[in-house]
Structure 1
Amino acid sequence: MTFFADLTSRQVAELSAGTRTPVLLLPLGAIEPHGPHAPIGTDPLISHGMCARAADRLAADPDVRVLVLPALPYGVTRFAAGFAGGIHIGEETLHALLVDVGAALIGQGLPRILLVNNHFEPAHLTTLRRAAETLNTEHGGRVAHLDLVRRRNAQRLTEEFRSGECHAGRYETSLVLADRPELVDEPLMRTLPRVPVTLAAASPNAGFKELGMTDAYCGSPAEATAEEGEATFGVLTDLLVEAIHELGTR
């Protein structure tokens, strides 16, 4: 089985006694607008897609037993203020939720948890890093965060991702087309002009509207393809599998 929630209580209790080291993947993101063409659940959709692919790839691995936890789709998303569909939770709420979930698992003998996130608002990322640190220092966890914006990871992803013009642009829209194409309004998508806004350089107090993202996207969604999305999912899965193996040996 790939998904933690599909196990019985007895099967969960047996995980830590097995010959394979359990590694639990927690898909994260935010519910927020992704242009007029892509779903508000784009971020957790991508995280879940990465996790499912990695778990499938490692299904027969002799060393690790990979399971995907139910996603936590809500995050810090002040940038999306003023647009319909954004659901913001504060840093302390997110931190407390992650720590409670992680501590519950660690207390059952499942300390290896990998946070898999595709929402890159700076305050959200800072909170994920802090939650991992709290779980490790205060609860005895072996929790890691696959940080895609770190240079060593970002340099393996697409040019648009590295540029920072990647909110609901070619990068993210291609991933949704690869995984859930029915959720993209493709005729509308093909009409959207490039919006040259680099979120990587944005002020923490800025919002999409203040940055010039009047339709809640930047980059070039009209150039998105399912083929690019599948290729990018391949790279994302490579990164995740590497992180799983690293965590499994701790």
Structure 2
Amino acid sequence: MTAFADLTSTQVAELLSGPRKPVLLLPVGAVEPHGPHAPLGTDEIISAGMCERAAARLADDADVRVLVLPAFNYGVTRLAAGFPGAISVSEATLHALVTEVCAGLVAQGFARIVVVNNHFEPAHVATLRKATAEAGVAYLDLVRRHNAERLTDEFRSGSCHAGQYETSLVLADHPELVDTATAATLPPVPVDLPAVMAEGKADFLAMGMDRAYCGDPAGASVAEGQSTFDTLTDLLVETIREVA
């Protein structure tokens, strides 16, 4: 059992008094368009997939007990506002959710928490960095260079919204949610997201992403998704070890 919310109150109390250090993982994502082929919940699917894999990998660990908290699937998603399905919350709302949930857990004795995010809109990331610092919990920051350099070429290029990188990960975890026939027809759309955002472009349409994706979704594969999940899980397990 790796889901925190599946436990009883008695089992939670036993976690705190047991010999293994409890580490809680909080998956974070967003609800936003990911092209005509991938689900709105792509980011949370990736975060949850990382957390579940890390918990499974450490299931028999003698030192830590890893459990996955219910996910936050709403984020700051203004870049996708021109497309159906985007649901955005404010920075203040996201900040309050993260800090209050983490503070409540810390007050109960769960001081070891890792926030795991795969939605990289700058305002969203900045809010999570601030909130986790204030709450005194860990944040696995995948866009930091030392983490990003271990991921795929497309991820490092910055042209990776619903492209080969993200679509491969969803194929590895929830292939039934990917419209593979449509993905196979999509041409590559090279957009360096950090660069165009630095130029002041504030939405997907202005960035040239008229179908709400960039990168190369047609190049996605289950094999790449599985390999990337292995690397993401390595990064998360390393963070769990540091926290513990």
TM beyond 0.5: yes
Q: CA offsets per residue over residues 190-210 of structure 1, 9 Å max, x none?
A: 000010111122326510011
- Residue 239 (structure 2) pairs with residue 209 (structure 1): no
Determine what percentage of the aligned residue pairs are the same residue.
Answer: 66
| Partners of 2:196 and 2:31 in 1: CA distance | 20
Instruction: Give 1:38 shift.
Output: 0.2
Q: CA offsets per residue over residues 143-182 of structure 1, 9 Å max, x none?
A: 1000000111101100000000100000000000000001
Superposed counterparts of 1:19-168, under 5 Å: 19-136=19-136, 143-168=137-162
3-state DSSP class of the match of 2:85?
Answer: coil
- Residue 166 (structure 2) pairs with residue 172 (structure 1): yes
Give the letter aligned to residue 164 of structure 2.
R
Q: TM-score, normalised by structure 2?
A: 0.98
Instruction: Give 1:88 shift.
Output: 0.2
3-state DSSP class of the match of 1:31?
Answer: coil
| Partners of 1:92 and 1:11 in 2: CA distance | 33
3-state DSSP class of the match of 1:235?
Answer: helix
Aligned match for 1:188, one of 177, 182, 194: 182
Give the letter aligned to residue 160 of structure 1.
E
Unaligned stretches of 5+ in structure 2?
Answer: none
Give the letter aligned to residue 143 of structure 2.
V
Name the structure 2 match of 1:198. Answer: 192
| Partners of 1:13 and 1:201 in 2: CA distance | 48
CA contact 2:201–2:207 (8 Å) conserved in 1: no
Give the letter aligned to residue 212 of structure 1.
G
> Which aligned runs of 4 or more in structure 1 are off by greater than 6 angstroms?
none
Unaligned stretches of 5+ in structure 1?
Answer: 137-142
| Partners of 2:179 and 2:236 in 1: CA distance | 29
3-state DSSP class of the match of 2:17?
Answer: coil
| Partners of 1:14 and 1:242 in 2: CA distance | 25
Give the letter aligned to residue 38 of structure 1.
A
